[in-house]
Amino acid sequence: MQPSPGPELLDADQRETYASAGEAALRACLGRFPEDQQDLFWQAICRCYGRAYAKPDPIEADPILTVPVAEPVVPPAHVIDATLAAGGVELAN
């Protein structure tokens, strides 16, 4: 199967012809919906595709929340010994 020609291979008239044919096909498919739903569809298409090369609206970033990380605390030796003697912790060999 031969791939479709890319936009760089179509002249302006061909692009307009294909765009018009695509829009006509979409309008034919959308004909089964009420006009208000068709309008909503076209608004969504324009919002998604009409801004393809426009700069997006700037979004103000939320300030970054930083949480201090606590250093690991090693209990005193006598606590470790007592825990091991009580059988509370198993150590891997």
Contact call for residues 84 and 91 (beta carbons, < 8 A): yes
The alpha carbons of the chain give a radius of gyration, in whole angstroms, of 32
15 Cβ contact list (under 8 Å, min separation 6): 7
Can you give the pLDDT at residue 59?
Answer: 60
**Integer Cα distance of 17 and 14 in angstroms:** 5
pTM of the predicted protein model: 0.40
* Closest CA relative to residue 75, chosen from 65, 64, 89, 63: 89
- Give me the pLDDT at residue 68, please: 74
Extents of the domains making up the chain: 7-56+63-85
Q: What is the pLDDT of residue 62?
A: 61
Residues near 89 by Cβ (< 8 Å), separated by ≥ 6? Answer: 83
Examine the pLDDT at 88 and tell me if it is beyond 80: no
pLDDT tens string 37-68: 888 888 887 777 765 444 555 666 566 666 67
Dump pLDDT digits (tens) for 5-32: 555 677 888 888 888 898 888 889 889 9
HSE, CB side, 13 Å, CA atoms: give it for residue 1: 2
